[in-house]
Amino acid sequence: MKTSAEMTDAELRQEIARLKKEKNALIMAHYYTRDEIQEIADFIGDSLALARQAAKTNADIIVMCGVHFMGETAKILCPDKKVLVPDEAAGCSLADSCDAAEFEKFVKARPDHTVISYVNTSAAVKAVTDIVVTSGNARKIIESLPKEEKIIFGPDKNLGGYINAVTGRNMVLWPGACHVHDRFSIDRIMELKKEHPEAKILVHPECRRPLQLIADKVGSTAALLDFAQNDDAPEYIVVTESGILFEMRRKCPTKKFIPAPAEDAECQCNECDYMKLNTLRKVYEALKNETPEINVDKEIAEKALRPIERMLELS
Ligand code: 13P
Ligand code: SF4
């Protein structure tokens, strides 16, 4: 019997398909994962779609190919299911920019505020939150609250700033950011636009405000994909993690998608190294050994469930 390191990609794919059937498992993948992961996934989506799908699946095992908080969200929604992540080290710099104890102090200092947290947070942060949001529903959910409601928004300052700008709110922002989205270079994107004058600029709201202002569309990964599918431009400069280009090219084979460069020309800074930790070999090992498994402290999970459910009800 070959070890997984000796198996070819075709053999890994075959074994993954066999184990998936045998164990009634569902493989879910975020748009930022490697192409070969998106190819084998039963379901691909943005963080909102992944949460929705987890809430309604009949599978016994969920293999969450994304990052840790996505596995935690699935486990909180489905405590009786086994939730596996192919690599435990797949964290999130944005979630890490919001320490739960510090966030709780921030919240306690503002007792008259409603607490809204982006889904890119630990379960412990969600446990001190009133409503969880994703980039796909943040605007809609915040607009559903009375105009005068005082709101804390964490942890992404760029997404929070975007919502403040488009809704006229004055939410108090936690100063967190994502290491991928926060370092796209406006100068290099403007140079690209000169080379491709017909290209439209698609920007994720985790990017800084100047980039949001030059965008033809600001939106979650799913919203950017949807825009490209329903728009008639021949080219797009895509200012988000470059994994989304796989699905954009698949859905719009006649259009050209150009990944936006980051500030540092030397590095692959438009890639999320955490998302790329998901590989075929690790998916196979996770399914075979049923590990690493996500478990969330019972008390924290109970407190975190309500704000996630409120998000699903409101979006
Ligand atoms: P989406 O909500 O667009 O899936 O984004 C999640 C994420 O991690 C962005 O960096
Ligand atoms: Fe987190 Fe940024 Fe990676 Fe998204 S792209 S998972 S926000 S580190």
- Cα distance between the two ends of the chain: 48
DSSP state of 113: S
Q: How confident is the model at residue 60 (pLDDT cuts 50, 70, 90)?
A: very high
Token representation of residue 228: 């490209």
Each residue of 114-168: pLDDT tens digit? Answer: 999 999 999 999 999 999 999 999 999 999 999 999 999 999 999 999 999 999 9
d(CA 291, CA 84): 6
- Mean pLDDT in residue range 211-234: 97
Q: Is the CB of 133 under 6 A from ligand 1?
A: no
* pLDDT category of residue 262 using cuts at 50, 70 and 90: confident
DSSP 3-state of 160: helix
What letter does residue 250 receive in the DSSP assignment? H
Residue-wise pLDDT for 161-193, tens only, equals: 999 999 999 999 999 999 999 989 899 899 999
Q: What are phi and psi of 136, to 5 degrees?
A: -80, -20
Q: Please state the rounded mean pLDDT for residues 90-116.
A: 98
The yes-or-no verdict on residue 68 having pLDDT over 90 is: yes
Percent of the chain whose predicted confidence (pLDDT) is above 90 = 95
57 pLDDT higher than 90:
yes
- Report yes or no on whether pTM surpasses 0.85: yes
Burial class (CB in 10 A: 0-12, 13-18, 19+), 36: middle
CA dihedral 176, 180, 181, 184 (to 10 degrees): 130
Q: Say if residue 240's pLDDT is above 90.
A: yes
The CA distance from 220 to 120, in Å, is 13
Residue 264, pLDDT score: 67
Rounded Cα distance, 145 and 222, in Å: 24
* Ligand 1 lined by 182 (C-beta under 6 Å): no
Find out whether the beta carbon of 134 lies less than 6 Å from any atom of ligand 1.
Answer: yes
Q: What would the mean pLDDT of 282-301 be, rounded to a whole number?
A: 98
Task: Decide if 155 contacts 174 (C-beta within 8 A).
Answer: yes
What distance in Å separates the CA atoms of residue 232 and residue 59, rounded to the nearest whole number?
39
Asked if pLDDT for residue 11 goes beyond 90, the answer is yes
| pLDDT for the residue 265 | 63
* Mean pLDDT (the chain, rounded): 96
Cα 18 to ligand 1 centre (Å): 30
* Sequence-ordered strand ranges (E) for the chain: 25-30, 43-45, 61-65, 82-84, 114-118, 131-133, 151-154, 172-173, 200-203, 217-218, 235-239, 256-259
Task: Judge contact between 175 and 103, C-beta under 8 A.
Answer: no
Backbone angles phi, psi at 226, to 5 degrees: -65, -45
Query: Which of 134, 157, 178, 268 best tests ligand 2's pocket when mutated (most atoms within 8 Å of CB)?
Result: 178
Q: What mean pLDDT comes out for the span 83-97?
A: 98
Question: Residue 261: its pLDDT value, please?
Answer: 83
Residue 78: band (very low, low, confident or very high) from pLDDT cuts 50, 70, 90: very high
- C-beta of 40 in contact with ligand 2 (< 6 A): no
> Cβ(184)–Cβ(260) under 8 Å?
yes
Query: Ligand 2 in contact with 159 (CB < 6 A)?
Result: no
Residues 6+ away with beta carbon under 8 Å from 294:
64, 68, 71, 72, 74, 75, 83, 84, 85
pLDDT for 83 beyond 70 = yes
Other Cβ atoms closer than 10 A to 126: 29
Q: Which atom of ligand 1 is nearest to the CA of 119?
A: 2
pLDDT-derived band at 315 (thresholds 50, 70, 90) equals confident
